[in-house]
Amino acid sequence: MSAKPVVDYSLYLVTGRELLPEGKDHLESLEESIKGGVTLVQIREKKADTGEFLRIAQDSKAICRKYNVPILINDRIDIALAVGADGVHIGQTDMPVDIARKLLPPNAIIGMTCNTVEHVRKAIQDGVDYVGLGPVWATQTKKVAHPVLGVRGIGELLSVLEGTDVKAVAIAGIKSTNALHCLHGSVSPGGRALDGLAVVSDIVASTDPLNAAKRVATIVQAFKSIPTPTFSLAPSSYTADAFRGGVGELLTAVKKHSPLVHQITNTVVTTQSANATLALGASPIMATAPEEMPDLSRAAGALLVNFGTIQNLDGMLAAGFNYNQNRKPVVFDPVGVGATQFRRSSAAALLNAWQPTVIKGNAAELGALANSTEVQAKGVDSVGAGFADPAAFVRNLARKERAIIVLTGVTDYVSDGRTVVRLSNGHPLLGKITGSGCMVGTAVATFCGGASMAAASTRSADAPEDAQLVRGDMLVAAVGGVLAITIASELAAARSDVKGSGTFLPAFIDELGALTPEKLAAYAKVEVI
């Protein structure tokens, strides 16, 4: 008995002749796609009769064999047997796996579409070789019978695969413009990542399938060639002193590069947020129109999305997507997310449309994102004592969301999913002015912009793909943003001219502008736990 073929699932092409552009032949497109980096092919023919399907499969197999690329047949086991394909892909309503296994050669590859945790568990039990997880996004190439899972939903399904040899690819709506987001975001909390991406229209419908395939293949191969990417450095590099020094370096970078910080924020705090940005040495811009996002994402250093007053969800969706495209930091501040169903559904839509670099919120807001009932909300505020183990909470949420998590409160916690930092600066007067929490988001975005621009200044224009959605140390940037606000609040409150909240705000902006690396290092109360 021959062994099963060794399959590289990195770029899995699913064909669809109905998508071919005018004048493009199926076999021509297939061969160009393989030359561009396709590593596995599935022939899907939903409308062809048996004779036509057989002919297409035979001709396609000849091309795949020429390049030593495995070929699978969608649904039709008779066609797979007739042409000697390497295996089949079956759906939830197709032939059961055990029967397919009996009919096919022992070395046949069998894959299955899975849309739920239960589907994945059953597929493992049935002994499939790989699963196609999705739909990640809505697609025009196939009628979707199950709800769109989004990138965040894929991680939950991958959790079930931990400890197994079953491979996994993401399916539906995947293209070069969202491939890195899909790979980065579709990782289980335990670190199980995708083995590849299944792509249809982005390659098949292209007039240049070779380069269409190459764009996706380059991203996938770069992602798989390095440890699971995060927005930070190795945990061993982080000590309290390293953070104190690092945030000072980033403050210097902010003042040197003066990043344009794009803020889609709530109308209540626009002025304070703009003043805080300027005080730190950056430049603010408040813009919400979706039509502006491609241009702004190329010019700005970072994006803050704060939906305290949700007025232009389309602008938020477009903004995050475009900043991901340009590998710029995105800070998400889900103000009052647990207060209404609209806010919860809006947050889910945003987090599946783009990958945040940092998610910042109070205990109630982050608890709502995590579907935790440990902390309750009253409007935009938290109620109660907070999390019993805030360090574990932020670590776990960072792993789940694949982002830096900033939990604000009397004591602040920041984590990348591996390292947890506890910050103990701040003054009660911060809670007596409107928008202090929103200004934390502004400061975090400003420091992220500084870190990103500093990294970009040392990267050559012809550097190879590195599968990094954002470059620069965003964990240090998040810590720096929090410390800037909290230390400035302490310095402002200590001034003799501050009599209460009315005199505190202008003094606070003054002290924010007067911060230096030396002040940050001297006053920062940082613990790595």
The catalytic residues are 438
Could you tell me if 247 and 475 are in contact, meaning their C-beta atoms sit under 8 angstroms apart? Answer: no
Written as six digits, the tokens of 191 are 């670190």
CA–centroid distance for 22 within its chain: 35
CA nearest 230: which of 472, 29, 450?
472
The 3-state secondary structure of 307-349, one letter per residue: CCCCCCHHHHHHHHHHHHHCCCCEEEECCCCCCCHHHHHHHHH
What are the strands of the beta sheet with 404-408, ordered from one edge?
283-285, 260-264, 302-306, 330-333, 358-362, 404-408, 412-415, 420-423, 526-528
Sequence-distant contacts of 95-98: CB under 8 A, at least 24 apart? 96/126, 97/123, 97/126, 97/127, 97/128, 98/126
Bridge partners of 360, per DSSP, are 406
- Indicate the burial class of 73 (C-beta count within 10 angstroms; 0-12, 13-18, 19 or more): buried
Please report, as a single letter, which amino acid is at residue 125. Answer: Q
Could you tell me if 88 and 71 are in contact, meaning their C-beta atoms sit under 8 angstroms apart? Answer: no
Distance CA 478, CA 379 (A): 25
Bridge partners of 413, per DSSP, are 407, 422
Written as six digits, the tokens of 72 are 């699978």
Bridge partners of 359, per DSSP, are 332, 405
Distance CA 391, CA 368 (A): 17
CA nearest 323: which of 337, 347, 309, 305?
305
Q: What are the DSSP calls for 439-455, one per residue?
A: HHHHHHHHHHHHHHHHH
Query: How far, in Å, are 26, 29, 36, 76, 197 from residue 58 at the CA level?
Result: 13, 16, 22, 14, 25
Backbone angles phi, psi at 394, to 5 degrees: -70, -35
Distance CA 193, CA 185 (A): 9
Output b/e per residue, 5-31; b: 16+ Cβ within 10 A: eebbbbbbbbbbbebbeeebebeebbb
Which secondary-structure segment (H or E) carries 382? strand 381-383
Could you tell me if 79 and 57 are in contact, meaning their C-beta atoms sit under 8 angstroms apart? Answer: yes
Distance CA 330, CA 265 (A): 13
Residue with structure tokens 């994102």? 369
